Amino acid sequence: MKKNKTKVTFLPQNETIEVEKGTTLLEASIRAGVYVNSICGGDGICGKCRLVVKEGDVTAHPTTLLKREDIKKGYVLACQTEVIDDVVVEVPPESRAEGKILIDKDAQRFRALYAPMKGQVFFKYEPLIQKIHLELPPPSLQDNISDHIRLYRSIRRQKKIPIMQTGLKIIKAIPYVLRKGNWEITATLGVRGGTVEIIQVEGGNTTDRNFAVAVDVGTSTVVAHLVNLTTFETMDAEATYNSQRVYGEEVTRRIIYAEQKGENKLREAIVEDINNLITTLISRNNIYLNDIMAVVCAGNTAMIHFLLGLNPSYLRKEPYIPVCTYPPPVRAAEVGIKINPRGLLYSLPSIASWVGADITAGILATGLYQADELTMLIDIGTNGEIVIGNKDWMVCCSASAGPAFEGSGVRSGMRAAEGAIEKVKISEEGKIQYTTIGGGKPRGVCGSGLIDVMAELFKAGFLDRSGRLNPDINGKIRDVKGELEFLLIPSSQTLTKDEIVITQADIENLLRAKAAIFAGINALTKMLSIEFSDIKRIYLAGGFGNYLDKENAVTLGLIPDVQRGRVQFVGNTAILGAKMTLLSKDALDTAYKISRNITYYDLITYPDYMDEFMSAKFLPHTDVSKFPTIMGKIKR
Amino acid sequence: MAFTGLQIYKLLPKTNCGDCNFPTCMAFAMQLAAKKTSLDQCPHVSEEAKAQLAEASAPPMKLVSIGNDENKLEIGQETVLFRHKEKFYHPTGVAILVEDTITDDELDKEISSINQLKFTRVGEEIGINLVALQYSSTNAEDYARLAEKIIEKTALPLILICQDPSIMEPALKVIGDRRPLIYSATRENFEKMASLAKHYNSPLAVYAESLEELADLTQNIKKMGVDNLVLDPGTRKTGSALEYLTKLRRLAVDKVFRPLGYPTIIFTGEDDPFQEIVQAATYVCKYANIVVVKAKNTWQILPLLTVRQNIYTDPQVPNAVDSKLYEIGAVTPGSPVIVTTNFSLTYFTVESEVGNSKVPTHISVVETEGMGVLNAYAGDKWSAEKVAKTLEQQKVREKVDHNTIIIPGLVAVFRAELIDEFGWNVLVGPEEAARIPSFLKNEWKPGSKK
């Protein structure tokens, strides 16, 4: 008989999997649980899923994304290559997992965040999805209520739930599950607004298998955390670049694309990203897809529009109106997210068209909404959002920064993942010390590393106040085809064998990003007539990883020059807040309150914004009196 | 002191009920602080808060009116140093100086030329606001008679320039009911001048050579119950006048220093007609509320009024014309059709060049919220769909017998879209309006007849 199965072995993991002939290497890798980079998700357009065929035969579709010499060495694109015989392939370093975003400090930071607030009451543990183990009395001629009501009765003996609902599909399943389970079952309850829905009934006791995923849907980066709802533990995390990027780096371009070609492509792209993240998380943790009962999304408003298939068009047109800022929980399958088919998708409420649910989540996670003292939250992503307020009032704005601090638009930039340089020191002679996430060889520089590089170059005199590299110093600055660049790590020391550099254009991008954010901070405080010194606490959030050098952030002029003790780096608060709501219905209700009561201030209506922006495009700022502690340290 | 958004917020009910049609109380407070809405939009505000806010919202610079009824000139009540922060509210009054040595015939001529100094620019009529009668040599009787003669010939309000109360009083007896600006109270005469101003219910200018002295004077005059004041900081030199005017505006608006919270008057000092008008234009920009010019030549006036008009438009509300089909010249169904935006400056530039071409033309104005061509295109206010819809609404298909429309050269890129949308031939016009005459004369050809 003709054999139509074939074996694929991945090196260096040495994982072997049997697949049908004609399967692409990318599909094989996903099934084998071997991570291969792919930004486009298999469309053959990103050129990131490079593999080396060591033994065996494959059919490779022609591509322009590989160099001729690479093809000679056996390089193929995993998504464009089909298996026709047993094959051994190697995953080269550049295609390997960018590692997981480190989460070990996450829980710690979470606790630290609440430490300064006295009398803080934690939200009551009441997850959005609860599993209840029930032993029902079997019916009799006397106790002859319906199976459905019997189920309700048993649930209500354990939980006070006045209003419950059940879908027809579950009602149909009830008699079988009850009898097959010999009247011992587990019911899964999901919060839907004011009511609770029975979303699943299973025989036996499955209460230890209750998982959910929290997702931060960003313009550039999508981060997912796997949460065990029984133990409240964050089990794992994974991130990917948002593959909508092929439709435009900026949100506006993506909206225009959606207007012209329909929203579907964009929805499919983000749904695919989320599905891929979930698949990776469950396969790495040996969890069944069926046991993922909910996904909570804290994304920016446009991303939530794309995800839910809402018309994004009016977001970009004056007066910038979202279709919906409080999306109700929906069946995840309805938008194409693959978890338990009855599982729910929750979207945290957003605030305005350009301040999304990620900020609602950030306010929730930092406790800003109940602070006694004036507090500021700065969340640095593709947009820089700024919130100022306390328990009485909150005002927020959004400054369009661009994705430079997420490592995008910067030659050697990458997101905060294994192999990213997260910490850098540069001496006046140009000697470089650095640490990478995970401690291995460097692959690129993430946001916190980029802040360090800029600030260190500035302090050491390689960079002048207007952000120009100074070519005369120590010969460390090279001129490559008319563009100046600073060599950070030579190719011999990197994982990818590509050198890590910072170019004049990179610096321009970073400078613009930091200027937009600082101008937003300045505009908002001026509009409110408050001084930096009135702000008693500054939370700096963003997907920087585990570390951020406050001193260097101030040196750059990214954040105001205030007492350093007042500044606290809080990491990705979008995902933190999303996880809080997963674990507590109270937290979700609070998120709704936050988004209803906060006031959005559109920087478009601030007449001096452009002036503020231009003034902030210097290091640290045109007005050095704003940065008294910095200027003394700068080498002239 | 004007309240900040935060301070106003503290006085509001903080319920976020939304009855004011703003999303939150804070949003309402911020709009109130920016003077973009009024407190009565909130139905739930307490009486106590109302009282506090009313006091605080007293303008930092007083509004002073000169003259009566429909011909009165209102100046002052400015709130900012820089126009782009908000806007300038009351255009600088331009006064023409007339000496009392003038003969009756000369006066007739002068006044009739002042009356004729009216121009229409960007759809708005602009002209002189005041006549200033300078006392120098005649006696009190003649001065009063000249003043009377002026009010017979013109409805414009007057400034009486004389620091001798015994000359001022007879003049006021004759024309006091026209509420002229009495110029001026000084350290020596302020008690008498103030009582005249009180008696005739007229505004009073206060003259001093230092800001300290000005502040003293205004406080003393205010104690006498006279509060309609205009400040003259004394100098006639451009540099020092600019300095004083700037200080006065800053003290009034930024520091809310009430003793100097009044509008200002300044005189030109230059004799050369070019220099004089440059000097006057400087004062219009910063920060005179009345500028008195000699302006011996009528041509000096137009540039001054143009500057004033430009400075005193609201920078946040673009000037717009109505969206309709304009007919320039004796149009026929064969005349060309030009499409443009409803930004006033764009429309009037196109209109005047079309006029210059002497080719009768239809101008179809598309509603673009007062944006120019490129801004409208970038801001999505100008799309093929919208232009086609406008042309339909304006019944262009019925009004002309050809099937060609001309679009601005700057948006050549959307020609094909418009052809698809409207079905007519689309000609790309010039990028600059200055080339419209040659375009209409040499390049315009109607497409095939319908």
The H or E element spanning position A522 is helix A504-527
Contact flag B4-A393 (C-beta cutoff 8 Å): no
Mutate to test the interface with B, among A395, A604, A605, A610 (most CBs of B within 10 A): A395
Q: Is the pLDDT of residue A3 over 90?
A: no
User: What tokens appear for A551 in the block?
Assistant: 């001193």
SS3 of A76-107 = EEHHHEEECCCEEEECCHHHCCCCCCCCCCHH
Q: Which residues of B touch A (CB under 8 A)?
A: 4-6, 9, 14, 16, 23-24, 26-27, 30, 84-85, 316, 379-380
Residue A406 pLDDT more than 80? yes
C-alpha–C-alpha distance, residues B226 and B194, integer Å: 7
Interface test with B, best of A320, A393, A524, A527 (most B CBs within 10 A): A393
**CA dist A330 to A170, A191, A202, A305, A537, Å?**
16, 11, 22, 14, 37
Cα angle B332, B337, B342 (rounded to 5 degrees) comes to: 125
3-state secondary structure of A186: strand
B186 pLDDT tier (thresholds 50, 70, 90): very high
Would you list the DSSP string of A350-406?
Answer: --BTTB-HHHHHHHHHHTGGG-SS-EEEEEESSEEEEEEE-SS-EEEEEEE--GGGG
Distance of CA A86 to the CA centre of its chain: 37
Q: Which residue in the set B26, B316, B380 is minimally distant from A395, CB to CB?
A: B26
As given in the structure block, the two tokens for residue B431 are 């990028």
Please tell me the distance from the alpha carbon of residue B278 to that of residue B269, in angstroms, as a whole number: 11
Res A105 pLDDT > 70: no
Average pLDDT of the residues in B159-182? 95
* Residue B12 Cα, gap to closest chain A Cα (Å): 12
Say whether pLDDT at A278 is over 90. yes
Which residues in B lie closer than 8 A to residue A395 (C-beta atoms)? 26, 30
The four Cα atoms A490, A493, A496, A497 give a dihedral, to 10 degrees, of: 60
Residues of chain A with C-beta less than 8 angstroms from the C-beta of B11: none
Closest CA to A418 of A106, A94, A107: A94
Give the pLDDT mean for B152-163.
94
Q: Is residue B2 very low, low, confident or very high in pLDDT (cuts 50, 70, 90)?
A: low
Q: Which residues of A touch B (CB under 8 A)?
A: 317-318, 392-395, 527-530, 596-601, 607-608
Give the CA count within 13 Å in the CB-facing half-sphere of B103: 2
Which residues of chain A make contact with B316, given a CB cutoff of 8 A? 607
Range A589-593 average pLDDT? 95
**Using an 8 Å Cβ cutoff, are A289 and A213 in contact?**
no
Positive or negative, the CA dihedral B285, B290, B292, B296 is: positive
Q: Per the CB < 8 Å rule, is A600 touching B23?
A: yes
Distant-in-sequence contacts of B176-179, Cβ < 8 A, 24+ apart: B176/B200, B176/B202, B177/B68, B178/B67, B178/B68, B178/B151, B179/B65, B179/B66, B179/B67, B179/B68, B179/B72, B179/B203
| Predicted pLDDT at B137 | 75
What pLDDT score does A100 carry?
38
Task: Chain B: give the shortest CA distance to residue A607, in Å.
Answer: 6
pLDDT-wise least confident of A78-87, A189-198, B185-194: A78-87
- As to burial, measured by CB atoms within 10 angstroms (0-12 exposed, 13-18 middle, 19+ buried), residue A144 is exposed
**Of the given ranges (A129-143, A277-291, B59-73), which has the lowest mean pLDDT?**
B59-73
> What pLDDT band is residue A39 in, cutting at 50, 70 and 90?
low
User: Is residue A173 very low, low, confident or very high in pLDDT (cuts 50, 70, 90)?
Assistant: very high
Residue identified by tokens 């460390």 is: A476
d(CA A113, CA A570): 7
Quickly tell me which residue has 């000369």 as its tokens.
B106
Task: Show Cβ contacts of residue B123 under 8 Å, excluding neighbours closer than 6 positions.
Answer: B319, B321, B344, B348
The DSSP annotation for A130-181 comes to: EEEEEEPPPP-SSS---HHHHHHHHHHHHS--S-EEE-HHHHHHHHHHHHHT
Residue with tokens 């200033």: B132
Is pLDDT of A121 > 60? Answer: no
**Residue A252 gets which letter from DSSP?**
H
Give yes or no for residue A113 having a pLDDT over 50: no
User: Whole-angstrom Cα distance, residue A254 to residue A270?
Assistant: 12
Q: How far is CA A586 from CA A122, A421, B45, B357, in A?
A: 10, 38, 32, 72
The pLDDT tens digits for A489-502 are: 999 999 988 899 99
* pLDDT confidence bin for A231, thresholds 50/70/90: confident
* 3-state SS, residue B275: helix
β-strand pairing of B204-207 with B181-185: parallel
Chains A, B: CB contacts within 8 A come to 36
CA-based Rg of chain A, rounded to a whole angstrom?
Answer: 26
Distance CA A100, CA B151 (A): 87
Q: What is the pLDDT, as a whole number, of residue A217?
A: 94
CA distances from B61 to A353, B1, B53, B231, B437 (A): 38, 11, 17, 11, 48
Percent of chain B with pLDDT over 90: 71
pTM of this prediction exceeds 0.80: no
- Per DSSP, the residues of B361-388 read EEEEEE--TT--HHHHHHTTS--HHHHH
The conformation of residue B264, written as its DSSP 8-state character, comes to: B
What rounded mean pLDDT belongs to chain B? 91
| 8 Å CB contact of B9 and A598 | no
In degrees, rounded to 5, the angle at the alpha carbon of residue B73 between the alpha carbons of residues B72 and B75 is: 145
In angstroms, the first-to-last Cα distance of chain B is: 68
Q: In what order do the strands lie in the sheet containing B181-185?
A: B229-232, B204-207, B181-185, B158-161, B130-134, B93-99, B290-293, B265-267
Mean pLDDT, range A111-135, rounded to an integer: 66
B314 confidence band (pLDDT: 50, 70, 90): confident
Question: Who among B14, B30, B380 is closest to A601 (CB)?
Answer: B30
Q: Spell out which residues of chain B touch residue A599, defining contact as CB-CB under 8 Å.
A: 23-24, 26-27, 30
Residue A102 binned pLDDT confidence (cut-offs 50, 70, 90): very low
pLDDT of residue B449: 52
Q: Would you state the pLDDT for residue B252?
A: 93
Q: Give the C-alpha separation, A133 to A156, whole Å.
A: 12
* Residue A49 C-alpha from the chain's centroid: 21
* pLDDT higher than threshold 70 for residue A97: no
B177: which 2 tokens? 């009911």
The gap from C-alpha B382 to its chain's centroid, in whole angstroms, comes to 29
Instruction: Please list every residue in chain B whose beta carbon sits closer than 8 Å to the beta carbon of residue A528.
Output: 4-6
Beta strands B181-185; B158-161: pairing state: parallel
> Quick one: what percent of chain A has pLDDT higher than 90?
59
CB A370 within 8 A of CB A355: no
pLDDT at A43: 63
Q: Tell me: pLDDT of A118 over 50.
A: no
User: Taking 60 as the threshold, does the pLDDT of residue A174 lie above it?
Assistant: yes
| pLDDT average, residue stretch B393-418 | 92
Cα gap B251→B246, rounded to integer Å: 9
pLDDT, tens digit, 9 for 90 and up, residues A144-159? 999 999 999 999 999 9
Higher pLDDT residue, B5 or A327? Answer: A327
Whether B243 has a pLDDT exceeding 50, the answer reads yes
Q: What is the pLDDT of residue A233?
A: 83
Determine how β-strand A87-90 pairs with β-strand A164-166: unpaired
Task: Give chain A positions within 8 Å (CB) of B14.
Answer: 392-393
B216 vs A483, residue with greater confidence: B216
Burial class, B125, CB count within 10 angstroms (exposed 0-12 / middle 13-18 / buried 19+): exposed
What is the 8-class DSSP label of residue A341?
T
Token output for A599: 């006031």
Instruction: Report helix angle A573-583 to A585-597, nearest 10.
Output: 130
CA distance A8 to A10: 7
Interface confidence, given as ipTM, is: 0.74
Measured between CA atoms, the residue of chain B closest to residue A609 is B85
| Cβ distance of A529 and B4 shorter than 8 Å | yes
Is the Cβ pair B16, A395 closer than 8 Å? no
Pairing of strands A483-489, A500-503: antiparallel
pLDDT in tens, B104-142: 999 999 999 999 988 888 778 899 999 999 998 778 889
Nearest to A599 among B4, B23, B84 (CB): B23
Q: Is residue A4 a contact partner of residue A20, using CB atoms and an 8 Å limit?
A: yes
In angstroms, the first-to-last Cα distance of chain A is 79
Instruction: Decide if pLDDT at B246 tops 80.
Output: yes
